[in-house]
Amino acid sequence: MGTTKTDLFTDAQNQIATIAKALGHPARVAILEYLLKVNECICGDIVNELPLAQPTVSQHLKELKNAGLIKGNVEGTAICYCIDEAAIERLQAYFAGIASKLSEKKKDCC
């Protein structure tokens, strides 16, 4: 118990869930928005932007990276992080698809 039964669902469902889960924490949303605001690779600097301790930020960055939402390369002493467009586009396409299917049908329920 306590473990998500991923084998019972499709790959597509698991992939969406993985990306969504990575954004399921405000610190990780804040990191994404900061990377977007600066709009270029950030080398160092992210830790100072967040009201959390350095190991905690490092852990959140790792989760975003594992989920494919950000990319990062070693750049000397610092690390160069930026948003991975592919993941964002996948999410955007997914929800746009749902929204368009929803608009096709009746709203007179619930």
Partner DNA sequence: TTTATTTATCGTAATATTGCAATATATAAA
Partner DNA sequence: TTTATATATTGCAATATTACGATAAATAAA
- Show the binding pattern over residues 38-77: x = contacts DNA (CB under 7 A), - = does not: -----xxxxx----xxxxx-xxxxxx--------x-x-xx
Residues near 3 by Cβ (< 8 Å), separated by ≥ 6?
A: none
For DNA, the closer of residues 67 and 87 by Cβ is: 67
| DSSP assignment of 38-103 | HTS-EES-HHHHSSS-HHHHHHHHHHHHHTTSEEEEEETTEEEEEE-HHHHHHHHHHHHHHHHHHH
Q: Restricting to residues 5-64, which ones interact with a copy of itself according to CB under 8 A?
A: 5-6, 8-10, 13-14, 16-18, 20-30, 32-33, 36, 39-41, 51-52
DSSP structure class, residue 6: G
Residue 100 structure tokens: 């368009």
Instruction: Give the Cα separation of 22 and 41 in Å (integer).
Output: 20
* Residues making contact with DNA (CB under 7 A): 1-5, 21, 24-25, 27, 43-47, 52-56, 58-63, 72, 74, 76-79
Q: Which residues bind a copy of itself (CB under 8 A)?
A: 4-6, 8-10, 13-14, 16-18, 20-30, 32-33, 36, 39-41, 51-52, 71-73, 80-83, 85, 88-89, 91-92, 95-96, 98-99, 101-107, 109-110
